[in-house]
Every structure is written in C-alpha cells, then in structure tokens.
C-alpha cells in the first residue's frame, strides 16, 4: 500500500499531471458540494470535467484520491500563502491582522472546497485524516505565533493563545460555511474588519490599540472609523494604499 500522502499517476509529465488533476478536482468539488461525496460517481466527475472515465484513472486511483487532493489543496493554500503575506510586516499587531485577512481571503477563493473540507474529511481513510488534521494544526500555529508575538511585546493581554487562534480560524471558515447569510450583509473586507473588532481589539492593551488605530488611519483598513475597509489591506508596505481601493 502506498504512503498516506501519495496519489500515484500513470502519467509521468509533472506539468500535465498538475493541469489534469486541477481540472478534475474542480469538477469534483462542484459535484461533491452539490450532490454529496457518496452519491457522486467517477463517471459524473468525468462528464463534469469533460474527460473520459478512463482518463481519470490515469491520474487518480479512486474517489478517495480525488477527495484527498481536494482537501489538501485547501490546507496547502493556507500553509503556503499566509507566510509570504506576513513578510515585511514588522509589528506584531499588524502581522496578526494581516494573517486574519489573508486566511479569510483564501477562504473566499475556495468557498466550496472549504465547506467540503468540513463535510467530508471524515470520509477519508484514517491515515489520510491524520494528514489533514496535521496540516490544519500547522496553519493554526501560524496564527498562534502572531498572537504570542503580540503578548510578548505587551500589545495584547495574556489570553489562551490556542483557543483564540481557533476562534480566528473558525471565523475565517465561517465566511464559507455561512456565506449564504454573511455574504449578503458584508463585503469580505467589511467582514474581516468586524472580526478584528470582535476577536482581536478587545484583547489588545492600550499600546496595542494605538498601533491598531494608527494602522487603520494609515491604510484605511480593518475598520477605519466612519469609513469602509479596503478589500486589500496594504499594511505590509508600512504606508497607505496608493490612491485606489479594490472592492470585492
């Protein structure tokens, strides 16, 4: 039996494997989300992807392989995309806000796959469930590290770092899980700004609040008083957005 993380392909060209698997995974996410994992067949995935059933088996061994790579895509994106967004963000409070923003932005780009991860992780074989849980734990540690930096610097009160990190992660996931409701009320940036107010600001010390207020004034992000938050905070550069705002 292959290792838990291995998904073997009969095709040797890495570029083609990546391209075809992406095409098939996108089709599978749609069907798994709409029809459910158990009722979706390989034949249905093939039709949705516009390929033959036989071609799918050149890139995946079975349906569990497809589900595993779908969930791995979500978790790998968190793990790989959050750290680069924190590079050059020197202040701990700003790093925490940027981490929350980036997490929510990734979820926004993977709405169906995020919901699928909640619904279907338990259907993976046991050794793969362990890998998924380990990947989630590594992502949570990125958030925990940001919180710890705030506490060490005297910018945040002593809190249960582990639980607060999970609250922030759950908040990000809720953008997908409850998007049918919150998506009608808030743009993504407004949702993140409210999350910062609810889950970060109450735990900041006076020193930390001054940093948050200064960041809001400088970047017009994360809940500037009387103004809508920019949908792409630019705190990493240490300056206000350059004359334009993007809206989601």
239 pLDDT higher than 50: no
Residue 36 sits in the same domain as residue 136: no
Counting the structural domains of the chain, the total is 2
Give the domain extent around 147. Answer: 63-237
State the CATH number of the domain containing residue 149. Answer: 1.10.357.10
Confidence band of 246 (pLDDT split at 50, 70, 90): very low
What pLDDT, on the 0 to 100 scale, is given for residue 228? 44
* Domain-located, residue 246: no
Our measurement of the distance from residue 7's CA atom to the centroid of its chain's CA atoms, rounded to an integer in Å, reads 23
What pLDDT, on the 0 to 100 scale, is given for residue 141? 94
Residue 218 sits in the same domain as residue 123: yes
Interval 166-180 mean pLDDT: 96
What pLDDT, on the 0 to 100 scale, is given for residue 49? 94
Helix (H, G, I), strand (E, B) or coil at 152: helix
Residue 73 sits in the same domain as residue 42: no
* Domain-located, residue 248: no
Residue 25 sits in the same domain as residue 114: no
What pLDDT, on the 0 to 100 scale, is given for residue 119? 85
Of 40, 61, 82, the one marking the end of a domain is: 61
Which among 209, 208, 241 is positioned nearest to 227, based on CA atoms?
Answer: 241
Give 67's Cβ-side CA count (13 Å radius): 27
Residue 24 sits in the same domain as residue 147: no
Q: What is the dihedral of CA 232, 235, 237, 243, to 10 degrees?
A: 50
């Amino acid at each position: 039996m292959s290792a838990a993380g291995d998904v073997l392909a009969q095709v040797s060209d890495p570029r083609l494997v990546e391209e075809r698997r992406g095409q098939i995974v996108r089709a599978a996410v749609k069907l798994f989300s709409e029809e459910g994992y158990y009722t979706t067949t390989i034949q249905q995935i093939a039709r949705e992807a516009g390929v033959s059933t036989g071609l799918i088996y050149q890139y995946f061994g079975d349906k569990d392989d497809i589900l595993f790579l779908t969930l791995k895509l979500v978790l790998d994106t968190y793990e790989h995309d959050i750290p680069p967004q924190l590079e050059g963000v020197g202040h701990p409070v700003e790093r925490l806000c940027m981490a929350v923003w980036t997490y929510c932005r990734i979820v926004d780009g993977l709405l169906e796959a995020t919901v699928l991860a909640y619904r279907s992780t338990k259907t993976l074989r046991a050794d793969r469930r362990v890998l998924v849980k380990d990947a989630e734990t590594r992502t949570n540690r990125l958030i925990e590290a940001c919180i710890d930096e705030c506490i060490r610097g005297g910018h945040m009160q002593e809190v249960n770092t582990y639980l607060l990190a999970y609250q922030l992660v759950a908040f990000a996931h809720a953008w997908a899980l409850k998007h049918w409701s919150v998506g009608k009320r808030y743009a993504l940036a407004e949702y993140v700004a409210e999350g910062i107010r609810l889950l970060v600001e109450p735990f900041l010390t006076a020193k930390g609040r001054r940093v948050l207020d200064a960041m809001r004034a400088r970047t017009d992000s994360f809940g500037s008083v009387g103004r809508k938050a920019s949908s792409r905070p630019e705190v990493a550069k240490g300056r206000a957005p350059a004359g334009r705002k993007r809206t989601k």
